[in-house]
Copies of this chain bind each other. A is one copy, B any other.
Amino acid sequence: MPRVTDAYRRARRDEIASAALRCLRRNGVSGTSIADVVAESGLSAGAIYSHFRNKAELASYVAGSLLAWRIDEFASVTVDAPADAMRFLLAVFEDEEVTPHVVLQFWGEATVDEELRTVMTAVVGRMRAAFEHAVRPWADRRSADGAALAARTASVMLAVCQGYIANVALLGPRPVDDYLADVAVALGSEGADGQVIPLQRDHLSGRG
């Protein structure tokens, strides 16, 4: 099998996947039929099935490539505080390519579709690992056992980001910074005039 063919196949898959993503953004996962993807891509049903085993595999491919590059670009970053890392990651939703409601639907489907679950837990796992790496210096500054603190913190950051995504998808857009500021106010700390101070358990500061 010559290499040209591999590159061609990959390009075709991405072409179909990007047509599928356009449909998904418009009509959601359950609202998108293969016929829609056929119309959007200009190919035939058979052509799509010669590149993807079924609709679930197409969805998995879209879901997998959706956030992959953003996480990769994030993988080697380190930050001053957890909030910065979350801000960086959640900024992905500021361009219109990826929308929280599509991500939330993928999560919902993943609880029921084995293949999609594998992809989504991998994506989420890489997010967690990236968080862990990003906050490691911060954790080392704060605790004798920086590794353990970084691991626990990464878990929570992941859940906080998932909460943001679910919250925004359901209740409508909300600036990332406002959200993180509210988290800081309620559970962390906040400086004067609303400026967010890196989340620290032992930070003491007056408000107002």
Residue ranges of A at the interface with B (Cβ–Cβ < 8 Å): 27-31, 82, 101, 104-112, 117, 120-121, 124, 143-144, 149, 152-153, 155-167, 169-171, 179, 182-183, 185-190, 199, 201-202, 204, 207-208
A172 → chain B closest CB, angstroms? 9
- Among residues of B, the one whose C-beta sits closest to the C-beta of A104 is B108
Residue in chain B with minimal CB distance to A82: B186
In the complex, the answer to whether A179 meets B202 with C-beta atoms within 8 Å is no
Which residues of B sit under 8 angstroms from A190, Cβ to Cβ?
201
User: How many Å from the CB of A42 to the closest CB on chain B?
Assistant: 25
Q: Chain B contacts of A109 at CB under 8 A?
A: 28, 30, 105, 108
19 more A-B residue pairs beyond the given contacts A153-B185, A162-B167, with a C-beta to C-beta distance below 8 A:
A27-B112, A28-B112, A82-B187, A101-B111, A104-B104, A106-B108, A107-B170, A111-B169, A111-B170, A124-B170, A124-B171, A144-B208, A157-B186, A159-B160, A159-B163, A159-B166, A162-B163, A162-B170, A204-B204
